[in-house]
Amino acid sequence: MKTEHKTPVSLETLTALCKRRGFIFQSSEIYNGLNGFWDFGPLGTELKNNLRDAWWQDMVRNPPLGPDGEMIDIVGLDSSIIQNPKVWAASGHLGGFNDPMADCRESKSRYRADHLMVYVPESGEGTAFAFLEGEPSVAEKRIKKKAKSDPSAYKVVPYNELDPALIPTVWGPDAQEPGTLTEPRQFNLMFKTFIGAMAGEGDENTAYLRPETAQGIFINYKNVVDTMRVKLPFGIGQIGKSFRNEVTPRNFIFRSREFEQMELEWFCHPDEATKWYDFWVQTRLDWWESLGVDMRNLRRRDHDEDELAHYSTACADVEYQYGFTAPGFGELEGIAHRGNYDLSQHQEASGTKLEYFDQETNEKFIPHVIEPSSGLSRGVLVLLNEAYTEEFVPKGNTEGGPLLAEPGTRPPEGYESRVVLKFAPRLAPIKVAIFPLLKNREELVNKAKDLYADLRKTWPVFYDQTGAIGRRYRRQDEIGTPYCVTVDFDSLEDDTVTIRDRDSMEQHRIPITELRSWLQSKLV
């Protein structure tokens, strides 16, 4: 049963909650942070680990049945972040992994040239006004004030595509006068470092932090085939950190400079690549749905032909309606049909044969590859967006269930607000909270602690004895704990406890002896 479609939460609200409740902190915060880097706090770490483990379980250890109902096989890998720099020459990242940038000579700001837009006079004469995509207001004010004109007399052109002859007429977003922006130039997104013995900062010692985990799979393809008794088709999955020196990191953990990926390379016969491409696009959409993501917030976007790399015949994004993109969508995952490009490039550059020999057909060929490439950090952002819910609940919590509320609105008479993170139980950072009804009654505290000691052998459990039970429930709602268990005076008599459900807010009693198996059945 689908519920009402929630209004997406704003990034400001989500970021504040994440900091306040220990999900995600600005990195190096006590040193005023570092732009584009984030640290996962205790709850964010558990949430991220749960998403990581769900992908590993559902993609590597127990992948779904294939398009013809057959079992398929996928193995895992964990390659290093720093690889031989020849990897990046062969993959094309050293030559082509660039963003166009433009600098403002006056304000010293740097812009992604493809995110910079310009109001150009329709007449072709006079000053043009630049603005950051989505933020036209400063430029519009200037048009009115400085050019004594109206934005409707201007057309919008990406800075990237502007006639270079017009660049001296452009007024930069942060500038005090026109003509301070440089022409766009290319900027490589790989972080550079220097390795080892000679340690000088010379070319021969230069290496790079990987900008994707995928190449680590391609360069180990032969080792995996030689050692793991795998036969085509099969997949290699990897989860790990990647680094991109983004010109303008933004939108919380959506575009950060250090992030985690979950990537699968699916190797298959060229004739079967299209079948597998279709399979993986659908499978990945289904997977996000299986984690509780509302399909109204997900969409498949097939790339236009002119978006595709020259070697690719198809690519689709799984997009999500983030709070900061709504009503539009932003990327969550890409599924690319990469042909045999990567293996061919590495075969040529390394001189190592990467062909597959099919013993049954006596055929030798370079496998084609379908690549479902997902962001783990970005996935966490989706889970947080998706889970965040504001509700009105009857005061005193006596009767009636919670009602979905418009974020930021005030409750009607007789109701109060609550914030609840509706994570699927499988993904919730804390599975169960244990409360003694009162903290100053030793027998309640002892019994609750015994329960805590027992349950935390199996699940992440939170123990809380401070404040009224209602407040303790709210604290757990706000971090998405599916079940709260209270030890009260009846528990001392009959060995039962109260279980309270996060979403329905309903409570029921259960014998302690049955608690484990009850939780086991719910926490999957």
Judged by CB under 8 A, the chain residues 120 through 179 that form the site for a second copy are none
Contact flag: residue 78 with a second copy (CB under 8 A): yes
Stretch that binds a second copy, among 20-28, 138-146, 151-159, 397-405 (CB under 8 A): 20-28
Contact flag: residue 59 with a second copy (CB under 8 A): no
What end-to-end distance do the CA atoms of the chain give, in Å? Answer: 19
Q: Return the residue of 227, 290, 507, 520 that touches a second copy, per CB under 8 A.
A: 227
Single-letter residue type at 43: L
The minimum distance between CB 48 and a second copy, in angstroms, equals 7
Q: Of 299 and 475, which CB lies nearer to a second copy in the complex structure?
A: 475
Q: Please report, to the nearest 10 degrees, the dihedral formed by the alpha carbons of residues 207, 211, 215, 219 taken in order.
A: 20
Contact flag: residue 274 with a second copy (CB under 8 A): no
Single-letter residue type at 470: G
Single-letter residue type at 489: F
State which H helix or E strand residue 143 sits in: helix 137-145
Contact flag: residue 198 with a second copy (CB under 8 A): yes
The minimum distance between CB 37 and a second copy, in angstroms, equals 4
The minimum distance between CB 164 and a second copy, in angstroms, equals 22
Task: Annotate each residue in 323-352 with x if it binds a second copy (CB under 8 A) or - if it does not, as one string.
Answer: -----------------------x--xx-x
Stretch that binds a second copy, among 154-162, 219-227, 359-367, 438-446 (CB under 8 A): 219-227
Integer Cα distance of 157 and 153 in angstroms: 13
Residues 6 or more apart whose Cβ sits within 8 Å of residue 347: 353, 354, 355, 366
Handedness of CA 85, 88, 91, 96 (dihedral sign): negative
Stretch that binds a second copy, among 170-178, 192-200, 297-305, 398-406 (CB under 8 A): 192-200
Contact status, residue 118 vs residue 154, Cβ threshold 8 Å = no
Handedness of CA 110, 114, 115, 117 (dihedral sign): positive
Contact flag: residue 62 with a second copy (CB under 8 A): yes
Contact status, residue 223 vs residue 79, Cβ threshold 8 Å = no
Task: Annotate each residue in 459-488 with x if it binds a second copy (CB under 8 A) or - if it does not, as one string.
Answer: xx---x-x----------------------
Stretch that binds a second copy, among 187-195, 328-336, 365-373, 500-508 (CB under 8 A): 187-195
Judged by CB under 8 A, the chain residues 443 through 462 that form the site for a second copy are 449, 452-453, 456-457, 459-460
Outline where 332-468 has alpha helix (H): 341-350, 376-387, 442-455
